[in-house]
């Protein structure tokens, strides 16, 4: 019987780090997993949004924001990384944790 990898368990800081890092890399023009064929990434490509921090720096940022990230999970919400200034890159000084619902609403309003 195989053990479930703790890093893949939804609702943990490890899950948040892995998923979010992967998603940022898919969106950004300089991301390791950049996917320009995905229409969801078009706005990031058009704006030239880059990932301007290392994985190590992002994981440190997650550790510093651990309580807030886990608060969302513990209250039945999904935490999400939001760029404070939507025209700037993913960098520790330009990201914050908000709920996924808030982030989707913010994106919808800014595309009007």
101: which residues sit within 8 A by CB, 6+ positions away?
77, 78
Q: What is the pLDDT at residue 67?
A: 97
Per-residue model confidence as pLDDT tens digits over 78-101: 999 999 999 999 999 999 999 999
Mapped onto helix, strand or coil, the DSSP state of residue 82 is strand
Q: What is the pLDDT at residue 111?
A: 61
pTM, two decimals, is 0.84
Q: What is the pLDDT at residue 88?
A: 95
Phi, psi of 96 (to 5 degrees): -145, 160
Where are the domains positioned within the chain? 9-110
Q: What is the pLDDT at residue 3?
A: 47
Secondary structure of 2-42 in the HEC alphabet? CCCCHHHCCCCHHHHHHHHHHHHHHHCCCCCCCCCCCHHHH
Q: What is the pLDDT at residue 32?
A: 83
Cα separation, 29 vs 36, in Å, equals 8
The closest alpha carbon to 111, from 89, 90, 86, belongs to 86
Q: What is the pLDDT at residue 43?
A: 85
Top-confidence residue, 14 or 106: 14
Per-residue model confidence as pLDDT tens digits over 1-58: 444 454 458 899 999 999 999 999 999 989 888 888 888 888 888 899 999 999 999 9
């Amino acid at each position: 019987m195989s053990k479930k990898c703790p890093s893949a368990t939804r609702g943990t800081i490890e899950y948040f780090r892995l998923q979010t890092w992967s998603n940022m890399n898919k969106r950004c023009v300089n991301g390791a997993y950049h996917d320009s064929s995905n229409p969801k990434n078009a706005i990031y490509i058009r704006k030239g949004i880059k990932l301007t921090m290392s994985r190590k720096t992002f994981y440190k940022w997650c550790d510093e924001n651990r309580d807030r990230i886990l608060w969302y999970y513990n209250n039945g919400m999904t935490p999400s990384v939001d760029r404070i200034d939507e025209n700037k890159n993913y960098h520790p000084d330009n990201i914050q944790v908000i709920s996924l619902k808030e982030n989707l609403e913010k994106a919808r309003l800014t595309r009007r």
